[in-house]
Amino acid sequence: MADEARRLFRFGVFEADTASGELRKSGVRLRLQDQPFQVLVVLLERAGDVVTREELRQKLWPADTFVDFDHSLNTIINKLREVLGDSASNPRFIETLAKRGYRLLPSVETPERVTIEASISPSEAPRPIALPTTSLLTRPDDLPAVPRGYVRVLFLLIQIMYLSFYIAALARLGVVIELLEHGFARPTWITAVLVLSAAVGIPVRLYLLSAVAFDVAGLSRKFLRLFPGVFVLDQLWALSPFLLAPQIGMGLALAITAALIYLPFSERTLLLMRDRSEPPA
């Protein structure tokens, strides 16, 4: 009997699965409609070669279909570029050849086909074993798709908040040292940690702020690499409200600290949600 074949195409951090019709980025599924996915598969199958607009028309629409072909194909290519984080003026994935068609630029890996014999009955087919997870961190599949703009604004606000903390502490360093002297017998080492962490934190926050402001591709992957360091930095600064405990009270200081302890996890979650979000049309 005929085999059911599943083909995988890998290019950069992306993977296209023809069996499920899914495009994944670093393992995270992206939203992509059927027609843009069909165009992507054609380009992947002929990576490096020019695929004419006429060939794409024949692939997408039957001969007796009446459609504004030029406008529809342009829309499909634009949606595909948005999902890939590509641009027509400076293409990294899809190159436009005027009056000819399109070409896929990156190299494509095609792992060995995964074939499932149709003769195997469902009861005989191997079933995946559900492995228990010990991680308390949110996984990409657990997250909903949220409008990309909301995620970017929230992440930007967090970076601005931390940046304000660092700058205000350094600008009022004398006042901070006085507060430390009232609370600690030897505040010198605490002052050194504060100044050093602020000096490290400022460029880190500026990088993250500019990266999300300009919607840099692959930001979540880069942030996950920075996450252990960012986590330690954020936990140190989560203790800062206790310096103001005499003015604001111990209860409020504890509440603010608890919220600040959670913030690095929320940053991680927001960037994972950003990858699941559908880019604006």
Q: Can you give the pTM of this predicted structure?
A: 0.51
* Rounded Cα gap, residues 143 and 166, in angstroms: 31
Q: What is the pLDDT of residues 129-162, one digit of tens each?
A: 444 444 567 776 667 767 778 888 999 999 999 9
Residue 233 sits at φ, ψ, to 5 deg, of: -60, -45
Residue 181 sits at φ, ψ, to 5 deg, of: -65, -30
* Rounded Cα gap, residues 22 and 95, in angstroms: 22
Domain range summary for the chain, segments of one domain joined by +: 4-116, 141-276
* Rounded Cα gap, residues 39 and 48, in angstroms: 14
For the ranges 106-110, 213-217, 228-232, the lowest mean pLDDT is seen at: 213-217
Q: What is the pLDDT of residues 45-61, one digit of tens each?
A: 998 899 998 888 888 87
* Rounded Cα gap, residues 276 and 281, in angstroms: 15
User: Highest mean pLDDT: which of 21-35, 115-129, 216-230?
Assistant: 21-35
Tell me which CATH code domain 4-116 carries: 1.10.10.10
* Rounded Cα gap, residues 149 and 52, in angstroms: 35
Task: Please tell me the predicted confidence (pLDDT) of residue 132.
Answer: 46
